Amino acid sequence: MKASEVMVPDPHVAVAGAMASEVAIMLKTRNISVVPVVDDHRTRRFLGTLSDRDLVTRCLAEGKHPWHTRVDSLMRPNSPVIHPDRELTGFEVRMDNDPNESHLRPTITVVDEQGKVVGFISHPEAIPDVKIVWG
């Protein structure tokens, strides 16, 4: 099974310069919990991901104001990426994270050859043959 067969095509994205409050509103209105972060809406070049939990732990819990905190200062730049034609059999999603963070959710962002976001896999743990590696 290829990534293009299980991805959500043309997913909602957050622009790096957006404020945390704007993304929080988008997550709520779109009923999603994780979003790819891109350089801008035209090129959609992938930079990282941002989750609702990141907004809480990296913004609110640290005393940052969501109206004045940019998304690119909160995102996770080391999120897994894959190309649409990549076979998922044997693919590993590495969750190399800070030992203090135990509530991360695995996701895979699908990008083309230029790094443009073309899809999103929000629950790779539900795909047989994809392995989630914690550690």
Question: What confidence score (pLDDT) does residue 131 get?
Answer: 86
Position with higher pLDDT, 134 vs 31? 31
For 64-133, give the DSSP string. --TTS-BGGGTSBTT--EE-TT-B-TT-EEEE---TT-------EEEE-TT-BEEEEES-GGGSTT-EEE
What is the radius of gyration, based on Cα positions, of the chain? 14
Question: What confidence score (pLDDT) does residue 95 get?
Answer: 76
The domain in which residue 30 lies consists of: 3-134
Residue 71: CATH number of its domain: 3.10.580.10
**pTM tops 0.95:** no
**Chain segment 70-115, per-residue pLDDT in tens:** 999 999 998 899 999 999 998 888 876 655 565 677 899 999 999 9
| CA proximity to 80, closest of 27, 130, 11 | 130
Which of 103-123 are b and which e, b meaning 16 or more Cβ less than 10 Å from the residue's Cβ? ebbbbbbbbeeeeebbbbbbe
**Chain segment 16-74, per-residue pLDDT in tens:** 999 999 999 999 999 999 999 999 999 999 999 999 999 999 999 999 999 999 999 99
| CA proximity to 92, closest of 51, 49, 130 | 130
Total domains in the fold of the chain: 1
